[in-house]
Amino acid sequence: MQITTFSFKRLLIYPVILIILLVLGFTVTAEKQPAWFQQAQDEAEQDGYKLITAHEMKALYESGENFTIIDVRPEYEFREGHILHANSLEFDLGDKLELKSDKQAALIGLLGSDKKQTIIFYCRSVA
């Protein structure tokens, strides 16, 4: 009888520990995201693309997988410093409304015909 009670108590402790870990884990993850992240996430969902974190991108670099990375800042900023192997193609606010044919051609020229490749865009930062 004593053994049964002991096992029952132990069984109760595991879910409690699990819940505490989940709550703590969620809190820590939530605190890691900067204030602008939710806005970036909303924009991504609205415009049909996904976000990539710095560590995911680092892993992608290390995996040796082929991908195209595009720096959309002005060329003079790109020349002063950019992420390794990035290509420069400046986009501004007007391009969000309408992508002109010359820029569209430049983008296609850069990306090529492989529609399944991974393409990463970045600017200065959304912060």
Partner 1 sequence: MGYQNVLRFPDGFFGWKSFFSDNTQSVDTIKKLGIGDVFPSCRLVMLYDETDRAYLKIQSLQKSFALEDIGNPYLYIVIYNEKCLACVDEVQSFKALYKSLNESLYLSDKVKLLAIGAGSKKRGVIAFKKENAIPYPLFADENRSIFYCLGNPVLPTSYLVHIQPDGRRQILFVQQDHINNVEMLIQKIYSLVKDMELPK
**Which residues sit at the interface with partner 1, rule CB under 8 A?**
36-37, 40, 44, 48-55, 57-58, 61, 71, 73, 76-84, 92-94, 104, 107-108, 111, 115-127
Kindly state the smallest distance separating residue 39's Cβ from partner 1, in Å.
Answer: 9
Q: How far is CA 10 from CA 2, 4, 5, 22, 70, in A?
A: 13, 10, 9, 19, 54
Residue closer to partner 1 by CB (options 7, 39) is: 39
Q: How far apart are CA 67 and CA 71, in angstroms?
A: 13
For residue 8, give both structure tokens: 């029952």
Give me the sign of the Cα torsion angle 74, 77, 79, 83.
Answer: negative
Residue closer to partner 1 by CB (options 18, 100) is: 100
For residue 64, give both structure tokens: 């040796």
Residue closer to partner 1 by CB (options 12, 94) is: 94
Kindly state the smallest distance separating residue 69's Cβ from partner 1, in Å.
Answer: 8
